[in-house]
Amino acid sequence: MKGLVTKSTGSWYEVLGDNQLKYQCRTRGKLRLEGIKETNPIAVGDRIDFIEENGVGSIEKILPRENQILRQSIKKTGHSQVLAANVDQVLLIATLKQPRTSLGFIDRFLVSAESFRIPQVLFFNKSDLLTPQDILELDSIKKIYSSIGVDTLTGSAIHDDITIISKVLENKVTLVAGHSGVGKSTLLNRIAPEIKQTIGDISSFSDKGTHTTTFAEMFQLNSKTFVIDTPGVKEWGLVDMSQQEISDYFPEMRDVRLNCKFGARCIHINEPKCSVLEALNAGAISAGRYKSYVSMVMGEDNRK
Ligand SMILES: Nc1nc2c(ncn2[C@@H]2O[C@H](COP(=O)(O)OP(=O)(O)OP(=O)(O)O)[C@@H](O)[C@H]2O)c(=O)[nH]1
Ligand SMILES: [Mg+2]
Ligand SMILES: [Zn+2]
C-alpha cells in the first residue's frame, strides 16, 4: 500500500494510507534513501510503500522526495535533521519579542527553503506586544523581505482575525516553523480548532530551550490542505552548501552576480569588480541580508 507519513516519533510513524485510513507503522531495520545521510531518514511528508499485518504497518520503501527542509542541529556534530519533505510552501513564524527572532535565523531558514525553490511566507506574530517604535522597526524589516519576494504578514494569532493566513494555507501542504514559543501551535489551533495542539505557557516561552511541541505532525484541514506543526528550533545550521552556491539562494543576488568579474568563482566578499558588492554599496542589497550572507559563507555560527 502507499501512504503519507503524518507523524514521526523516531520509532513509530503515523501514516495516512491512500485509502484514507490511518495506520501506525514501524520500519523493518534501517531504511536508507539515496543521497540522504540521516540514519533514520523518514520524515513527515514522506510518501512511502508499506505492508499491513494485523493492523500494524511495516514501512518498506520511501519514495523519492520532491524537496525537503533540512537543517543541521548543532554545528559540527554532522547531525542533520529533515524537518519535513514534499511541501508546497513554508510558513516561518517570527517574533520581535517573546522571543526575539534574529534576522540571521530568518535568513538561514529562507536559504534552506530557497535551495529547493520552495515558496516562503513570513508571519510576524505577537503584534499586540509591539510599541510604536517596534512597529517602525518591523515595517523596515518587512520591506526587506517583501522586496526579495517573500510574502510578509503581521498580526496576532490570539487577538486578530487570521483569515488571511487560512487563505495562504488553502490547497497546499505547508510546513510551519520558527523558534519555540513564537506561536506556531497557537496559530494552527486558531485556524483549525480540531487540531488541539498543546500550547506553551507564558512562563516558559521566553526560554528558547523549552519546547511544547515535541514531534512534527501533519494535519489535514480539508481534502487538499495540509499543515505541519513542528517543534521550535533554536538554531539553523545549513547542510552541505558550497560557498559558491549560497548566493544562488539569495534572490536579490542571483542575477546580479552574473556580472561579477570572477564569474562563478566569486564569493562576493572582497573580489574586485564584484557586482554584488556594487549593488550593496548602491543600497540595492540590504546590509542586514548581506551580513547574514557573509556569516553563512564564512561558516560562522549564527544560532540566534
Ligand atoms: N501576546 C501574545 N502571545 C501569543 C501570541 N500567540 C501565541 N502567544 C503565546 O505564546 C506562547 C507560546 O505559544 P505556542 O503556540 O505554544 O508556541 P510554539 O511556537 O508552538 O512553541 P513550540 O511548540 O515550543 O515550538 C503561549 O503562551 C501563547 O499563548 C500572540 O499573538 N500574542
Ligand atoms: Mg508548538
Ligand atoms: Zn561577486
pLDDT of residue 206: 52
Q: What is the pLDDT of residue 24?
A: 96
Which tens digits make up the pLDDT trace of 141-178? 999 999 999 999 999 999 999 999 999 999 999 999 99
> Residue 178's pLDDT is what?
96
Q: What are phi and psi of 174, to 5 degrees?
A: -120, 130
pTM for the structure as a whole? 0.93
Whose C-alpha lies nearest to ligand 1, atom 32?
126
Per residue in 197-220, pLDDT (tens digit) is 888 876 555 554 567 888 899 999
Closest protein CA for atom 3 of ligand 1: 126
| Candidate CATH numbers 3.75.10.10, 1.10.40.50, 3.40.50.720, 1.10.10.10; the one for domain 243-297 | 1.10.40.50
Higher pLDDT, 203 or 269: 269
First-residue to last-residue Cα distance in the chain: 42
Q: What's the average model confidence in pLDDT over 44-62? A: 92
Region 76-85 average pLDDT: 79
Q: Is the CB of 234 under 6 A from ligand 1?
A: no
**Residue 98 Cα: closest atom of ligand 1:** 10
Long-range contacts of 129-135 (CB under 8 A, 24+ apart): 129/95, 129/96, 129/97, 129/98, 130/96, 130/97, 134/96, 134/97
pLDDT tens-digit readout, 118-143: 999 999 999 999 999 999 999 999 99
- The topology under which CATH files domain 68-229 is Rossmann fold (3.40.50)
- At 198 the pLDDT is 85
- pLDDT exceeds cutoff 50 at 303: no
What residues does each domain of the chain span? 2-62, 68-229, 243-297
Q: Which atom of ligand 1 is nearest to the CA of 159?
A: 31
Confidence of residue 302 (pLDDT cuts 50, 70, 90): very low
Nearest ligand to the CA atom of 258: 3
Going by their DSSP bridges, the two strands 120-124 and 89-94 should be labelled as: parallel
Task: Kindly tell me if the per-residue pLDDT of 304 is higher than 50.
Answer: no
Residue scoring higher pLDDT (11 or 92) = 92
Q: Which of the ligands is closest to the CA of residue 293? A: 3
Q: How far apart are CA 299 and CA 290, in angstroms?
A: 14
| Nearest residue to 176 (alpha-carbon basis) of 116, 246, 95, 94 | 94
Which superfamily, per CATH, for 2-62?
Nucleic acid-binding proteins (2.40.50.140)
122 Cα: distance to centroid of ligand 1 (angstroms) = 16
Q: Is 181 in the pocket of ligand 1 (CB under 6 A)?
A: yes
CA 251 to centroid of ligand 3, rounded, Å: 14
With the most atoms of ligand 1 within 8 angstroms of its CB, the residue from 205, 227, 233 to mutate is: 205
Q: Is the CB of 200 under 6 A from ligand 1?
A: yes
Is 212 close to ligand 1, i.e. is its CB under 6 Å away? yes
